[in-house]
Amino acid sequence: MKYIDLEEHKEILAKRLQDGQRFSFSCHEGLSCFTKCCRNLNLFLYPYDVLRLKNGLHMHSDRFLDTYVDVVLRESNYFPGVLLRMGENQEKTCPFLGQSGCTVYADRPDTCRTFPLEQGILFQGSKGKATDVYFFKPPDFCLGQHEPQQWTTETWAEDQDAVTYHKMTARWAGIKGLFQSDPWGTEGPYGPKAKMAFMATYNLDRFRDFVFKSTFLKRYKVKKEILKRIKADDMELMKFGFGWVRFFVWGLKTPYLKPR
């Protein structure tokens, strides 16, 4: 996912796929390049990716993060990125790559579902509305781009069961975009407040305990119908976490809660 400012990246935007524009692609075991794209990746995971993977693997989010990711804070960033940790073999394969392909295919990350497209978030100025944009960017070795089957960005997202992923990635982009400026003050990006924000977005099982087993509900007023939803639905809990981060870090209003 890339953040794109309309005024600063007009040349990049000229190469995006337009609404309804078609591209050719098909990936299958008959191609000699099959799974070649699953090696030596800088694959960033978004919060919904982690949620789906850890649930699909029946793992607590603590254990998933410890086992499968590297948390990195890049220069001039104020919120860490979460990278899928590649294997320690010579080819640095994806940890979920098996002999017959992806072993977590039903819960594969948004970036994998979107391939061979690359998703961007277009901001119309610093306070403008965020819009999804897509670029057709298969690597040169990819033979799937020469297959006859054609798609639009909409039909590809539906075929790959990526619609919900795209919506959650866009929702996360709205939060992540706030961190283009430093909210941490003297605590810095490794302080207690930053750790709480990371927990609320990426460590959902620990955030659930924080909401329901700490003094959280004594400090925040949450409507009964919202509490019912976030108890029963992990995606709703994640949306709640995003809203809490907006309030906790930036002081922005959220429909999910208010201080008592």
Q: Which amino acid is at 147?
A: E
245 touches 177 (CB < 8 A)? no
258 touches 220 (CB < 8 A)? yes
Please check whether residues 168 and 195 belong to one and the same domain.
no
Please check whether residues 149 and 85 belong to one and the same domain.
yes
Please check whether residues 115 and 151 belong to one and the same domain.
yes
- Per-residue DSSP letter, 191: S
Q: Number of folded domains in the chain?
A: 2
Please check whether residues 165 and 70 belong to one and the same domain.
yes
Q: Give the domain extent around 205.
A: 182-259
Please check whether residues 165 and 199 belong to one and the same domain.
no
For residue 194, give the H/E element and its range: helix 192-202
Please check whether residues 169 and 189 belong to one and the same domain.
no
Burial of 235 (0-12, 13-18, 19+ CB in 10 A): middle
Single residue among 116, 151, 174 that ends a domain in this structure: 174
Please check whether residues 168 and 188 belong to one and the same domain.
no
Please check whether residues 74 and 27 belong to one and the same domain.
yes
Q: How far is 225 from 115, CA to CA, in rounded Å?
A: 37
Residue 83's DSSP bridge partners are: 44, 70
pTM of the model: 0.92
Neighbours of 25 (CB within 10 A): 20
pLDDT in tens, the chain (260 residues): 544 444 445 555 557 898 899 999 999 999 999 999 999 999 999 999 999 999 999 999 999 999 999 999 988 889 999 999 999 999 999 999 999 999 999 999 999 999 999 988 776 555 556 678 899 999 999 999 999 999 999 999 999 999 999 999 999 998 998 998 999 999 999 999 999 999 999 999 999 999 999 999 999 999 999 999 999 999 999 999 999 999 999 999 999 999 99
Single residue among 174, 190, 205 that ends a domain in this structure: 174
Please check whether residues 69 and 186 belong to one and the same domain.
no
